[in-house]
Amino acid sequence: MFLIHVSYKKPLPEVDRFLVEHRQFLDEYYRKGILIVSGTRKPRSGGVIFGKFTDRAAAESFVKLDPFYREEIADYDIVEFAATRCAKNFTSFLTKEDESTATVI
């Protein structure tokens, strides 16, 4: 699984110019079953994207297709992790690897 921290590096009016396109881009990955949750950071300085990419290369490829990346609006910090604990209602999002190591609470 991957947690992607998005940090804006341009003013919000510039971010807003590409927000609809960015959200359409995310919607495509929700339809593919890759993204789990995403949203705006508070205060609005960027966002957070949580997904189950096959590997780091897939997460990096995803980032490079984001309109915010293309327009140099944001920086991205990709964090890969293995789930070791999770809530019962979260188990459907676990990868096969995570299922073998995660304790369901």
Return the domain boundaries, the chain.
2-104
Q: Read off the pLDDT of residues 35-72 as tens digits, 9 standing for 90 and up.
A: 999 999 999 999 999 999 999 999 999 999 999 999 99
Q: Phi first, then psi: what are they for 48, rounded to 5°?
A: -135, 135
Which amino acid is located at 32 in the chain?
K
**In contact, 29 and 51? CB cutoff 8 Å:** yes
Query: For residue 78, how many C-alpha atoms fall within 13 Å in the half-sphere facing its CB?
Result: 16
CATH class of 2-104: alpha beta
In the predicted structure, residue 89 carries a pLDDT above the cut 90: no
Question: What average pLDDT does range 32-36 have in this prediction?
Answer: 93
Question: What average pLDDT does range 90-96 have in this prediction?
Answer: 70
- Chain Cα centroid distance, residue 67: 14
Report CA-CA distances (Å) from 1 to 9, 70, 73, 96, 102.
25, 24, 24, 11, 12
**In contact, 43 and 96? CB cutoff 8 Å:** no
Q: Which of 49, 40, 43 is nearest to 77 (CA)?
A: 49
Whole-model pTM: value is: 0.87
Structure tokens at 24: 């359409």
